[in-house]
A and B are shown apart, each in its own frame.
Chain A
Amino acid sequence: MNDTTIMTMNNSLDYSHSLSAGTTLTTHRHLKNLLADVSLPERTESNDSNIIKEYFKRYQTNSFSFDNVEPSASRQLEEVLFDATSSVKIAMSQVAMHVDRQFRNKLFSQIDTLHDLDEWDEDDNPINKDSFLTFIKGILNINPSKLPGLGLSHDGNLIAAWIQGKNRLILEFLPDNNRVEWVVSRYFDEELDRATGKTPVLRLLDCLAPYDPEIWFQ
């Protein structure tokens, strides 16, 4: 941030144009609080330099950064959900070239639904970005023709589900070490075979092989 930017913010209080495109609602609020909190002398040309110095002082002591905004206890639920949605959509854009456009659009639509404020359980955590990245790796590895339905665990882990008749495959993508927890309910000749396990996403298809996973993916 340079002096010109700071002056612009002070003069117009409409600082949105000085924020980068990826800046989130939280960043806006943080910046607003930062500015509102500063007790400034009445502005004259002679004390402009003092105002700038004060901004810099506050800027430095708050360790404020546009790239790394600390979460605050007072963050509104709407902002938390907005930020989480933005975060995964930005992450998705980084691998967009590997993903079918139709899939991406459906995925974004489902994430919007998962974070629907009107339906939100306040005890839940929004989608965990690392879980989402594990999901992307898993999807690229499975390369399914049928897209899964999505859910979310209390902890914010993304869940993908394929249901075909009574046969169910539930995958919970974990945020640590690219692992996935799988749950299978699979009927062979009316006999139920139910199993679960945890594995790195790259080994998932090997683990599912005994259950003929094509019924879900193709």
Chain B
Amino acid sequence: MMLLKKGALLPDEDHVVRFISPNRLIKNEHGKIEILPQAFILREKDKGRLSVSWLEYFDGDQSSKLSAIKNALAKGWRHGKLPSKGALGTGNVAEIKTVAPKAKPPLRIVYAPSTNNPAHSSIVNMPNDDKTILESLATDVFVERVQVKDI
């Protein structure tokens, strides 16, 4: 288990995981799931910080880490479980920063643990009104996607 102080920047080589609701997923012609850019839009309740989970916080192989994140996220959901047709998308920290190199202030990915989720982190300074950036996150960065039912 990696440890960082709350508010610390996540290392560039690490990864973050975002839960994608079923309604922000789409299947391509091969039946593989893809993410819609709207999955990264900030809502008012997000207060300018896009919620993600720090993958390397947890020990084990990729599957164990995703399972731990799924369990942590589920605590905040109705009936204590994530929608089975939703997905966890995984992206690299350094690549997230490259999608908006000209953002001012620059994108930062900070560790922000919560009561339910000790791996909780935030992408700060997201340019919410630029759909090309959100599309880039959806297609170029969060390229590993696993449906909740398969975790």
Complex Cα distance, B85 from A119, in Å, reads 7
Q: Is the CB of B41 closer than 8 A to any CB of chain A?
A: yes
Question: Which B residues form the contact surface with A (CB < 8 A)?
Answer: 21-29, 34, 36-38, 41, 43, 45, 78, 83-86, 130-132, 134-136, 139
Chain B residues contacting A119 (CB-CB under 8 Å) are 21-23, 83-86
Ordered by A's residue number, 20 sampled pairs between the chains whose C-beta atoms are within 8 Å are: A116-B85, A119-B22, A120-B83, A121-B23, A122-B78, A124-B23, A149-B27, A151-B24, A151-B36, A153-B41, A159-B36, A163-B28, A170-B135, A172-B38, A181-B131, A183-B131, A183-B134, A194-B135, A194-B136, A196-B130
Partner of B45, one of A118, A123, A181, A194: A123
Q: Is the CB of A50 closer than 8 A to any CB of chain B?
A: no
Chain B residues contacting A170 (CB-CB under 8 Å) are 36-38, 135
Q: Closest CB of chain B to A165's CB: distance in Å?
A: 8
Q: How many residues of chain A get a CB closer than 8 Å to chain B's CBs? A: 29
* Interface of A: prevailing SS: strand
Partner of B132, one of A120, A163, A195: A195
Chain B residues contacting A151 (CB-CB under 8 Å) are 23-26, 36, 38
Whether the pair A154, B41 counts as a contact (CB closer than 8 A) is yes
Q: Is the CB of A204 closer than 8 A to any CB of chain B?
A: no
Chain A residues contacting B134 (CB-CB under 8 Å) are 183
Chain A residues contacting B25 (CB-CB under 8 Å) are 151
Whether the pair B83, A121 counts as a contact (CB closer than 8 A) is yes
Whether the pair B36, A161 counts as a contact (CB closer than 8 A) is yes
Question: Which of B37, B41, B43, B78 has the most chain A CB within a 10 Å cutoff?
Answer: B37
Chain B residues contacting A194 (CB-CB under 8 Å) are 132, 135-136
Complex Cα distance, B24 from A164, in Å, reads 18
Complex Cα distance, B84 from A151, in Å, reads 16
Partner of A163, one of B29, B37, B45, B86: B29
Q: Is the CB of A147 closer than 8 A to any CB of chain B?
A: no
Whether the pair B83, A159 counts as a contact (CB closer than 8 A) is no
Chain A residues contacting B22 (CB-CB under 8 Å) are 116, 119
Q: Is the CB of A129 closer than 8 A to any CB of chain B?
A: no
Whether the pair B21, A159 counts as a contact (CB closer than 8 A) is no
Complex Cα distance, B21 from A166, in Å, reads 22
Complex Cα distance, B132 from A161, in Å, reads 15
Q: Mark A152-193, 1 if CB is under 8 A from B, else 0.
A: 111000010101111010101000000001010100000000
Chain A residues contacting B23 (CB-CB under 8 Å) are 114, 119, 121, 124, 151-152
Given contacts A161-B36, A168-B34, contact A124 B131 (CB under 8 A): no
Given contacts A119-B84, A124-B21, contact A185 B135 (CB under 8 A): yes
